[in-house]
Chains A and B, each alone.
Chain A
Amino acid sequence: MSLSLSKTLKTAAVALALCALPAMAAADTYTIDPSHTYPNFKIDHLGFSTLHGRFNKTTGRMSMDRAKGTGSVEIVIDAASIDTGHGKRDDHLRSPDFFNVMEFPQITFTSDTVKYVGEGATVTGDLTIMGVTRSVTLEVPRINCGTHPFNKKEVCGFNATTRIKRSDFGMNYGLPGIGDEVSLDIEVEAFKD
């Protein structure tokens, strides 16, 4: 009788432990791949055309836990790495007229909430440009995860988009000739830690 009870108790304990495993599992953490992560932007130029540019140096980390519906993103952009394909214009953009990169060397985004929607997500967080922080929402239509075919590491990638007004961040020079609204399209790839 006691042997049967002991066996039952052990079985129950194992079953309970198995049920608890998903709850105890930590979120997957990722390190941003700087060579495949680029914040791109576009802005109206004097009403004639749309200027495209990007920042070439980005670092950061993110975490994802789809089961729990949680996640986080932290991105740090080197403001001086701005690149619009024209050296003189890039110097101008780095100057006090626009990003003033000597005074504000970094642009950062830190998420508050991540809401998984279908195959993608909506990420709300704080974007800080030139020392000014504003809440923005990034739309991520699809998160793609898998094994990298060359280095065999687990990787996740997505594109996150949003629109901001540069004047909200104190960048007023050249308005209204150079547009106020800026479209952001951030391509991200990150390797699992």
Chain B
Amino acid sequence: MESFLAQPPVQSALAPFVASLVLAVALLRAPARWQGLAIVAGLLLAVLLILGPALTPLTSTRKIVVASLGLPLLAMALDLSPLRWRTGVGIVVFAAVLALLWVLWPVLMRGAPGEDVLLGGGLALYVAALLMVFARLGQCCARLAGAALGVAVATGVAAVLAASALYGQLAFALAAAVGGLTALRLWRPGLEGGAGCFGLGGAMAVAVPLALLGASASVYARLPVMALPLLALSPLLALAPLATQRPAWLRVVVAGLLSLAPSAGAVYLTWQVAGAGAAGY
């Protein structure tokens, strides 16, 4: 059993997909805004299998995990609160930028003062942009599912090429968790249009880990910084008008393909800069 659970396809695909699906089934009767918990559960199981349960030593990777699991819960709480949606988004974006600085602190501390501001500021912009786009997508469920799948897979491939199989596994696990929830929502048509709305919590369950993984890979791994604008552009294309009368699964696929186009550019750029990375030997 231990060797089975140690297989990367199990850790990054099967386990998070099943965990997300199981919790999504459990939450079928709950309000749609709770559905994002399924994604969090899938990612959590993947983290336990890949990294283990220990939070110490509190390396940058574990900080990413803490923020990726905690901030969606904050977003869910804000979604359920009387606060306006935009205020909730603003608070989560601010918290995510703080989380980014926390993750990158060892590097920012060592750099020259001007370099810190440039690096930290640029990456904070990337995180904020990605979160705001996904928050917008969270209001249209098929788009969010498609964009999440496309960007997560692309981030995973780029991370592996950038020499971090660990970051890649976490991104793939996120895609699998989104897949589990989406599969259930598509299978039960009539539930909020098929691919149900994930709410701010669900959107942030996708956006926060992707943003932190991408930004961190440009510092701690070999992801070229120029790949980040392409990754940030990817979910934007999923905002293109999609005919609502089309089947939900088709809208998910179209949104996914639209978001894959610039993501593929990010992957190609990474391949050119870093070569085959962690997949190359």
Q: Which of A95-113 contact B (CB under 8 A)?
A: 95-97, 100, 102-105
- Residues in A with CB closer than 8 Å to B163 are 88, 91-92, 94-95
CB of B167 closer than 8 Å to a CB of A: yes
A130 to B276, CA, bound (A): 26
Distance to closest chain B CB from A128 (angstroms): 11
Which of the 9-residue segments B66-74, B136-144, B214-222, B229-237 touches chain A? B214-222
Contact A88 B167 (CB under 8 A): no
A105 to B60, CA, bound (A): 13
Distance to closest chain B CB from A46 (angstroms): 11
Contact B277 A96 (CB under 8 A): no
Q: Which of A117-145 contact B (CB under 8 A)?
A: 130-132
Mostly, the A contact residues are: loop
Contact B59 A130 (CB under 8 A): yes
Contact A102 B107 (CB under 8 A): yes
- Residues in B with CB closer than 8 Å to A89 are 281
Contact A170 B166 (CB under 8 A): no
- Residues in A with CB closer than 8 Å to B281 are 86, 88-89, 92
Contact B166 A103 (CB under 8 A): no
- Residues in A with CB closer than 8 Å to B57 are 130-132, 169-170
Residue of A100, A169, A172 near B51 (CB, 8 A) is: A172
Distance to closest chain A CB from B100 (angstroms): 14
Interface flags for B40-59 (1: CB within 8 Å of A; 0: not) read 00000000001110101101
- Residues in B with CB closer than 8 Å to A146 are none
- Residues in A with CB closer than 8 Å to B114 are none
Given A91-B222, A102-B220, A103-B107: A97 and B274 within 8 A (CB)? no
CB of A177 closer than 8 Å to a CB of B: yes
Distance to closest chain B CB from A38 (angstroms): 22
Contact B277 A91 (CB under 8 A): yes
CB of B280 closer than 8 Å to a CB of A: yes
A47 to B277, CA, bound (A): 23
- Residues in B with CB closer than 8 Å to A94 are 163
A128 to B162, CA, bound (A): 26
Residue of B60, B107, B165 near A92 (CB, 8 A) is: B165
Distance to closest chain B CB from A47 (angstroms): 11
Contact B164 A96 (CB under 8 A): yes
Residue of B6, B51, B219, B275 near A102 (CB, 8 A) is: B219
Distance to closest chain B CB from A74 (angstroms): 21
Contact A103 B280 (CB under 8 A): no
Interface residues of B (CB under 8 A from A): 2, 6, 50-52, 54, 56-57, 59-61, 106-107, 110, 162-167, 216, 219-222, 274-278, 280-281
Given contacts A86-B281, A100-B61, A170-B56, 6 further A-B contacts (CB under 8 A): A95-B163, A96-B164, A97-B164, A103-B220, A170-B54, A176-B2
